[in-house]
Amino acid sequence: MEKSRRRFLKVAGIAAIGLGAAPAINFAASDSHGPAAAAKVKNDTALHAERWGMVIDIKKIDDNLARKISLACHLHHNVPDFTHEVDTRLYPKTRPVNHKQEIKWIWKEKFHYAFPDKEDEFLNEKFHHLPFMVLCNHCKNAPCVQACPTQATFSREDGIVMMDYHRCIGCRFCMAACPYGSRSFNFRDPRPFIDETDPDFPTRSKGVVEKCNFCAERLAKGEQPHCVEASEGAIVVGDLEDPESDVRKLLKEHYTIRRKQSLGTEPSVYYIV
């Protein structure tokens, strides 16, 4: 057999390709999604909707009830309260609080802040005092979803605008994009400011944005959102696409308004006034 440099290089080259191909073939053949027989399914009791929506009857809410609703939501979702006195034994290095920083999912707002475009010159006096409960509107055309560079915020199939806190990089584009101020940023570790941590829901970490999640974790178990349960009938959720649903019946019977409708975000939260 002739032994030339050329021949040696040929053989070496083919051998190198063979060695390189083996892992690639193995990788292509392996199933990266676990065993084929495994399946991911929903709870049997889970509540479904084409597009979730909410109707809030402001006439049924007073200051007391408003506080109760906020508290029910915030306690169960481990939303920090910066007026809470920090346990220095557990968190010895906690810096003093900047009270401009606030984290909230659902809260009471004055009419002229919630509906700046509806503030008439001679507005019915009672509107100035009504506690308008505001929260994430779970818009059909959510600007926060478009702004998010990592798809940490996304529109779920059932219309809920969800956040994947794992993916949030804390850029706060979504906060700038949201016309409703529904989003809060964790400028610091929220844990020292949570009085009683609810084990059924995670806390957040420093550097992520957070907001109302329409109690997706409760809908998945077939339960109503916390605000609905606390509201004594003032808040109703249901399927906006189903003409027979509770929310659609309410919308048929009452005059309702939505926040900053002219922006075209199509909010899913309606207010009976």
Partner 1 sequence: MTKNMIMGGLAVFVLAVLSPFWFNMVTTTQAAPEPELLGPAKEAKKCVLDTYEMRANHMSLLDEWRDAVVRDADRIYVAANGHAFNMSLSTGENSCLGCHEDKAKFCDACHTYTSVDPYCWECHTNPKEIE
The residues that touch partner 1, with contacts defined as CB under 8 A, are 32-43, 46, 90, 154, 156-158, 162, 164-166, 196-197, 199-205, 216, 220
Q: Is 108 helix (H, G, I), strand (E, B) or coil?
A: strand
Question: Rounded to the nearest whole angstrom, what is the least distance from the CB of residue 263 to partner 1 in the complex?
Answer: 26
Question: Rounded to the nearest whole angstrom, what is the least distance from the CB of residue 53 to partner 1 in the complex?
Answer: 17
120: left (phi over 0), alpha (psi -120 to 50) or beta: beta
Question: Rounded to the nearest whole angstrom, what is the least distance from the CB of residue 98 to partner 1 in the complex?
Answer: 21
Neighbouring C-beta atoms of residue 256, cutoff 10 Å = 16
Extract the tokens encoding 235. 């808040």
Nearer to partner 1, 21 or 220 (CB): 220
Nearer to partner 1, 6 or 42 (CB): 42
Question: Rounded to the nearest whole angstrom, what is the least distance from the CB of residue 6 to partner 1 in the complex?
Answer: 35
Nearer to partner 1, 82 or 165 (CB): 165
Q: Which residues is 134 bridged to in the sheet?
A: 107
Nearer to partner 1, 205 or 256 (CB): 205
- CA torsion sign for 79, 205, 197, 268 is positive
Amino acid making up residue 14: I
Angstrom CA distances, 210 to 170, 242, 246, stand at 10, 29, 28
Nearer to partner 1, 61 or 219 (CB): 219
Query: Token match 């083996």: residue?
Result: 22
d(CA 150, CA 148): 6
Question: Rounded to the nearest whole angstrom, what is the least distance from the CB of residue 5 to partner 1 in the complex?
Answer: 31
d(CA 18, CA 71): 64
Is the Cβ–Cβ distance between 100 and 254 less than 8 Å?
no
Question: Rounded to the nearest whole angstrom, what is the least distance from the CB of residue 66 to partner 1 in the complex?
Answer: 28
What single DSSP character describes residue 263? G
Nearer to partner 1, 19 or 90 (CB): 90
